[in-house]
């Protein structure tokens, strides 16, 4: 069973919620081509931390902390490629949370 308390804590912050929404449609929200995105990463999808930071207009440490919280809660997954880390949504978890809300709440 998922730790729904951690998930709901993550979702209770507007910026983290925005990040999750941006990552749902990255092509729409991150139109700047990321030069360091290799084809094998691109096939799986993912947005570089620097691009997320730029859009959020927050410090790198705050954005990294938020992304780590979201990953720990199971809402995101990441892949390191060289010195860059790319994040994408973990759709299975998001679907489980939606079902939990529909079923239990």
Supply the Cα-derived Rg of the chain in whole angstroms: 14
Q: Look at residue 35 in the predicted model and tell me its pLDDT.
A: 40
pLDDT, tens digit (0-9, with 9 covering 90-100), for 67-85: 999 999 999 999 988 888 9
Do the beta carbons of residue 30 and residue 22 sit within 8 Å? yes
As a whole number, the mean pLDDT across the chain is 88
For residue range 48-60, what is the model confidence (pLDDT) as tens digits?
Answer: 899 999 999 999 9
| pLDDT 10s digits, 20-48 | 999 998 888 887 765 445 555 556 778 98
Query: Cα separation of 69 and 55, whole Å?
Result: 18
């Amino acid at each position: 069973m998922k730790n729904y308390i951690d998930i709901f804590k993550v979702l209770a912050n507007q910026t983290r919620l925005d990040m999750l929404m941006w990552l749902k449609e990255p092509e729409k929200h991150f139109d700047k081509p990321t030069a360091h995105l290799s084809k094998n990463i691109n096939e799986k999808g993912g947005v570089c931390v620097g691009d997320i930071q730029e859009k959020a207009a927050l410090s790198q440490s705050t954005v990294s902390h938020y992304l780590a919280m979201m990953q720990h809660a199971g809402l995101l997954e990441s892949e390191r490629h060289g010195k860059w880390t790319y994040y994408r949504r973990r759709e299975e978890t998001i679907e489980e949370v939606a079902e939990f809300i529909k079923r239990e709440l």
